[in-house]
């Protein structure tokens, strides 16, 4: 467990505010369970924090509606009205650009994103005012060519057998644009799809954000520092709403909350932030799962010690499930020694419990399955097309059921080499297609051709209505 890394990542945020709960009206939830004299009883503390979260789920539904500004619900044309049959189009490889092609195919099969760029007048107005130098222009141009009549002059024939689509398009303009905007994407060297997806989301939000000047909220921050959980959340939502208003924030941003609890005074402090990626380190999750199984064996069997045999057997486990990933993400950690967290009530660093919870799920949930070393490519994730995440998202007033709509799959033993392909579910006919650069083919067996094929790297889930 890399305590120092997580401590630094979560506590020292670049953009988040630290909220101080040092007053007499705090909702300090004293632990009702007996900790048996142990200061690091994580299970006991985790139940304490969980109860505190669950007691605040009915907060300010209107504020959550404001958090997503509802651009996605505007009444404009849909691709489902224009296209009765989906004729998927490939993207030609211009020299190690498979990372880009796979990323673009997944993004360009998100129905609400395509509708917005293809039919919303705001995009036309923005391009007229800013010209063709923006990423918005290039992204719209790309969508127009991927979602158009097959007779368009830019689509070139690619002669294959009848089971494979014979149309593709060259994303030369898009590649040229991102290379000009970020040197990471210059030349023809291989890159990571995660970096490109991150760049596209951030850049489009920056360009399309209707709020160009952030308001000064420093006075409000000072005023809210000493309030309870509910008011901290309200402040975060209002703060976010005053800084972000775009189709990107509507679709991709969710909310997570970190909490720290001082082991001495039991004070709980909250840190809310918006996220559009969930990163799951698969090898750590595999070890986490094995340790949980070992702990379960030791707890249930008191008379004998089968641990050596069982541990050798468990260490060979290579498969994990999506639930294992979320349980790892939300585990409670105990920070002590040089990693102790400063407590403003006790006036010093003290041993503390640290927990991350997913609070509100975005419309489009992007999951990164992190594999950095060769051994991690042996870890297999079992996932399904439909997943219920209600037990993990603390906000219960909205749907937390998600459907898989896209997968970026990696082939090879390193992140910056080898080959990436995309699998995407058509928003028109619900058919899965594999996009291997210029070649597009139908998926006949989801598990065989997507779940068990190569190393799935990025998953795109869409919230169910």
Residue among 94, 135, 146 at smallest CA distance from 428: 146
Helix (H) or strand (E) holding 419: strand 419-425
Residues 87-99 have a mean pLDDT of: 92
Spatial contact of 201 and 252, defined as CB atoms under 8 Å apart: yes
Residue range 338-352, pLDDT digits in tens: 999 888 888 899 999
Residue 46 has what pLDDT? 52
Q: Report d(CA 145, CA 125) in Å as an integer.
A: 20
Other C-beta atoms closer than 10 Å to the C-beta of 99 total 24
Mention every residue, 6+ apart, whose C-beta is less than 8 A from residue 95: 188
The answer, yes or no, to whether residue 404 has pLDDT greater than 90, is yes
- pLDDT band of residue 15 (cuts 50, 70, 90) is very low
DSSP code of 98?
H
Residue range 32-72, pLDDT digits in tens: 343 443 444 555 555 555 555 444 444 445 555 555 555 45
Beta strands 254-262 and 352-360 are antiparallel
- Average pLDDT over the chain, rounded to whole? 78
Residue 249 has what pLDDT? 93
Strand arrangement of the beta sheet that strand 167-169 belongs to: 90-91, 167-169, 156-157
Residue range 293-306, pLDDT digits in tens: 888 777 766 555 55
Residue range 429-439, pLDDT digits in tens: 899 999 999 99
Residue 397 has what pLDDT? 74
Q: Report d(CA 117, CA 146) in Å as an integer.
A: 12
Residue 104 has what pLDDT? 98
**Token code pair at residue 342:** 């400063």
Residue 326 has what pLDDT? 94
The dihedral sign for the CA sequence 191, 192, 197, 200: negative
Residues 244-270 have a mean pLDDT of: 91
Phi, then psi, of 449 in degrees rounded to 5: -95, -10
User: What is the secondary structure of 385-414 as a DSSP string?
Assistant: SEEE-TTTBS--SS--EEEEEEEEEEESSS
Spatial contact of 145 and 139, defined as CB atoms under 8 Å apart: no
Q: What is the dihedral of CA 236, 239, 243, 249, to 10 degrees?
A: 30
Q: What is the dihedral of CA 341, 342, 346, 352, to 10 degrees?
A: -10
Q: What is the dihedral of CA 136, 142, 145, 146, to 10 degrees?
A: -120
Spatial contact of 361 and 402, defined as CB atoms under 8 Å apart: yes
Spatial contact of 96 and 444, defined as CB atoms under 8 Å apart: no
Residue range 122-133, pLDDT digits in tens: 999 999 999 899
% of the chain beyond a pLDDT of 70:
72
Residue 434 has what pLDDT? 95
Q: Report d(CA 108, CA 106) in Å as an integer.
A: 6
338 exposure class (CB count in 10 Å sphere: 0-12, 13-18, 19+): exposed
Q: Which domains does the chain have, with CATH numbers?
A: 3-31+39-67+213-244+254-360 (no CATH), 71-210+363-463 (3.90.70.10)
């Amino acid at each position: 467990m890399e305590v120092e890394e997580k401590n630094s990542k979560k506590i020292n945020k670049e953009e988040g505010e630290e909220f101080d709960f040092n007053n007499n009206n705090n909702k300090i939830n004293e632990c009702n369970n007996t900790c048996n004299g142990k200061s690091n009883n994580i299970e006991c503390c985790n139940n304490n924090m969980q109860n505190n979260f669950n007691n605040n789920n009915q907060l300010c539904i209107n504020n959550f509606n404001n958090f997503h500004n509802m651009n996605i619900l505007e009444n404009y044309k849909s691709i489902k009205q224009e296209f009765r049959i989906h004729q998927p189009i490939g993207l030609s490889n211009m020299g190690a650009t498979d990372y880009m092609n796979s990323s673009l195919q997944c993004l360009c099969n998100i129905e609400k994103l395509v509708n917005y760029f293809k039919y919303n007048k705001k995009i036309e107005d923005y391009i007229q005012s800013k010209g063709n130098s923006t990423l918005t222009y290039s992204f719209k141009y790309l969508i127009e060519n991927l979602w158009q009549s097959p007779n368009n002059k830019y689509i070139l024939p690619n002669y294959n057998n009848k089971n494979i689509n014979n149309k593709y398009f060259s994303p030369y303009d898009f590649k040229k644009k991102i290379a000009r905007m970020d040197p990471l994407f210059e030349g023809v060297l291989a890159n990571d799809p995660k970096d490109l997806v991150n760049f596209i989301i951030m850049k489009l939000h920056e360009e399309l954000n209707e709020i160009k000047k952030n308001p000064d909220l420093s006075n409000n921050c000072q005023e809210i520092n000493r309030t309870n959980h509910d008011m901290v959340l309200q402040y975060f939502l209002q703060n976010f709403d005053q800084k972000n208003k775009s189709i990107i924030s509507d679709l991709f941003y969710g909310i997570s909350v970190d909490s720290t609890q001082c082991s001495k005074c039991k004070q709980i402090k909250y840190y809310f932030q918006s996220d559009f990626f969930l990163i799951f380190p698969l090898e750590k999750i595999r070890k986490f799962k094995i340790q949980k199984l070992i702990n379960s064996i030791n707890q249930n069997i008191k008379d004998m010690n089968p641990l050596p045999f069982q541990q050798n057997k468990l260490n060979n486990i290579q498969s994990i499930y999506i639930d294992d990933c979320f349980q790892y993400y939300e585990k409670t950690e105990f920070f002590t020694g040089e990693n102790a967290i400063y407590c403003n009530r006790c006036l010093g660093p003290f041993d503390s419990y640290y927990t991350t919870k997913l609070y509100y799920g975005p419309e489009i949930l992007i999951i990164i399955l992190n594999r950095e070393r060769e051994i991690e490519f042996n870890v297999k994730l079992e996932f399904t097309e439909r997943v219920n995440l209600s037990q993990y998202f603390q906000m219960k007033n909205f749907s937390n059921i998600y459907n898989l709509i896209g997968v970026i799959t990696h082939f090879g033993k390193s992140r910056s080499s080898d080959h990436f392909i995309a699998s995407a579910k058509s928003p028109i006919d619900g058919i899965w297609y594999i996009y291997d650069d210029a070649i597009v083919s139908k998926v006949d067996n989801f598990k065989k051709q997507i779940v068990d094929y190569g190393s799935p790297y990025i998953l795109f889930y869409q919230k169910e209505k």
